Structure 1
């Protein structure tokens, strides 16, 4: 059967995140700080909306692009939060999670041999999605001393005649880095100069602790050359509902919906009704969860400082990305030994690109009590290897 599998798929590496998650799932008494999933239950008003739709028998396909009411709410929300206007009839579609929207965006816009510029460390799906679309991923190794922000000089140095897409992912997974308005403005002249399309993954847009999130699509000249990816998993604690969306100018969106039509048909109907309530009534829930994450973030930064483990201060998402290089192990060795000896799971930074070597990703989408228990074990481990 191996002969029937394409070489393109064979060459794609399994996710470095799932590897440790699978081990932890079979290890009694292990504490996992590896999964990027909110520990909050989906708020009840969102669950109730889904339940109500089931009781009303609303279990049929929606239009390919999704429920019009939900598309209208997404456009209202985007205008209110990010100050960008979209047409719900022609510039938005509802996807099965943000991951599907990223895959569709790449496949709709990339020809074989086109280059996708991907700043790293980055979420594990970007490079494989580019490869599956027949494109060539070109990675930019970002630096901790720059707080893992993409600089204009780094971007311009990566551009070639084949460059087509710049992938931006801020707030960032795995580093927790953000790009503020001035950082994004500095990139715009280069993006326009080389006529790049931007795919902006903003799934963590509600989890920004220093300043309000700024979408690059809101900057002059950027809306018409940007595909915005977002969703409900992180902000509204709806990971299992599998619902995301994309916003883009109508000519691109038309092709994205066509691909979605043939691959998926439509996103889950129950989830779409639940998401309407999330956007209409969920802002207090988002604020409450964001405050809890920020408390955990500050607790971990204080703890890392006490343990003398270097870590730049992340202001977004729910991850910290400490530097463990001084312990003389690769990130894979560090994470493996920590799991084996103290039963705490973190993710090696190398899972997110070569420049992630020497770091580990720690999620703080866990209670303060769990974080305290985990770091008691981490401290014990560090004392042994120092």
Structure 2
């Protein structure tokens, strides 16, 4: 097991900058904006809390998370919530608790597959519907699950991401509904990673699997994306109020008691405030959504202008360009034949840090990369805050310069 591709990219950026090298840091999926002072104050208020607390979390924080989901159309009681030190440990504990093989969309966030492999299981990858992301194609999933069971494997759960990392796309309601119907027929538990839910660019209905398969959908979230609290480590899982949900929740609670004991109490105090949706923080998320959407769309246009196939991003802060139309030129000039080759050339020749598509389970020959646009927001908190507060962040000089630099480097790559 090697270091996660996303974390390795972050370390590569730090090492190159320490060596005085210029870098366009588009690899690490960090939210890229300063922490709201009110959240820092809440954390400071609770800094002296040193007890472990209940395994599932404090009543205050669990009730706040329940309210967060309820206000988003998913009625929840505090008893259905379990907290952990980030959503990543919760996702691992869920795979462990449910057991069996996991079905993943192709592509999918790097850690889902790695966590499955840590448990000694290879994931079953199923392509996403054309033009979408985060959800396996339901018909292909049904066929793959039946084939796997015929071969003696034991698929028990499917993990989906709404909106998606790495593609930045939001699965359609039709695709999510079809997935839910297939999961019920195949008796699969659905784990819906909705950590980017608050960062969907256009308002409208959100296609959560909990709407169509409430009895078998477990939803996870955290504060690292919408509130830019990466590294603070607090996440929540919502379990269905069914017999299945209660059984899995109790198993996860037992796993949690042995792995992390309880989520840090100071962070639970801050999280309880954040999940209560105070007006100041709701406004902050709206500004973040505007910033992410403006820059992601601008970056997508830059890649499209040099000849890449790029779907318009719909949420989060990622772009997923595909260099297939440029395959011949890249092979001739740079020897690029895989997405890993492409990411290496972008880094070594142009100082652009991205993640190769094959790290997310995509076909290496597809020449896809994941671009995290938050690395363009600024080099300091003051620059990032100015971009966040701006009605037109693309007019910020440093951001415009970074976009111009990316444009020039890509033109040189494909010239």
> Normalising by the residue count of structure 2, what TM-score does the alignment of the two structures yield?
0.83
Task: For 2:292 and 2:40, locate their aligned partners in 1 and report how far apart those are by CA, in whole Å.
Answer: 22
Q: Distance in 2 between matches of 1:269 and 1:371?
A: 41
* Alpha-carbon offset, residue 285 of structure 1: 1.2
Superposed CA offset, 1:326-354 (max 9, x none)? 23322222221221222121111111113
The structure 2 residue matched to 1:34, chosen from 24, 27, 51, is: 27
2:98 maps to 1:122: no
1:245-256 aligned within 5 A = 245-248=236-239, 249-256=245-252
Q: Measure the CA separation in 1 of the matches of 2:101 and 2:135.
A: 21
Match of 2:76 in 1: 86
1: distance between equivalents of 2:225 and 2:413? Answer: 36
Distance change >3 Å, CA 179–CA 173, structure 1 → 2 = same
- Asked if structure 2 preserves the Cα contact closer than 8 Å seen for 1:144 and 1:312, the reply is no
- Report if the CA contact (8 A) 1:344-1:378 is conserved: no
Partner of 2:66: 75
1:202 aligns with 2:194: yes
Residue 258 in structure 1 maps to residue 267 in structure 2: no
Runs of 4+ in 1 over 4 A off after TM superposition: 143-149
- Distance across 1 between alignment mates of 2:322 and 2:342: 11
Residue 309 to residue 18, structure 1, CA distance change in 2 (3 Å): same
The one of 337, 352, 371 aligned to 2:360: 352
Matching of residues 278-357 of structure 1 within 5 Å? 278-280=274-276, 281=278, 282-325=281-324, 326=326, 327-328=330-331, 329=336, 330-355=338-363, 357=366
Q: Is the 8 A contact 2:103 2:157 kept in 1?
A: yes
Other-structure match for 1:5? none
Of 126-135 and 293-302, deviating more is 126-135
Q: 5 Å matches for 1:1-386? A: 12-27=1-16, 28-54=21-47, 57-81=48-72, 83-89=73-79, 91-110=80-99, 114-142=100-128, 145-146=131-132, 150-160=136-146, 161=149, 162-210=154-202, 211-219=204-212, 222-248=213-239, 249-280=245-276, 281=278, 282-325=281-324, 326=326, 327-328=330-331, 329=336, 330-355=338-363, 357-365=366-374, 366-367=376-377, 368=394, 369-370=398-399, 372-373=401-402, 375-386=404-415
Kindly indicate whether the alpha-carbon contact (under 8 Å) linking 1:364 and 1:371 is maintained by their aligned counterparts in 2: no
User: Cα offset for 1:86?
Assistant: 2.5
Q: Deviations over 1:261-303 (max 9, x none)?
A: 1111111111111112212222111111111111112222332
Query: Does the aligned pair in 1 maintain the 2:297–2:313 contact within 8 Å?
Result: no
Q: Mark the runs of 5 or more structure 2 residues left unpaired by the alignment.
A: 240-244, 378-393
Return the alpha-carbon distance in structure 1 between the equivalents of residues 68 and 164 of structure 2.
Answer: 21
Q: 1:148 to 1:58 in 2, by over 3 A?
A: closer
Q: Distance in 1 between matches of 2:294 and 2:35?
A: 20
By relative contact order (CA 8 Å, sep 6+), the higher-ranking structure is 1
Q: How many positions carry a matched residue from both structures?
A: 366
Deviation of the 1:371 alpha carbon: 6.6
| Runs (5+) with no aligned partner, structure 1 | 1-11
What secondary structure, in the 3-state scheme, does the structure 2 residue paired with 1:241 have? coil
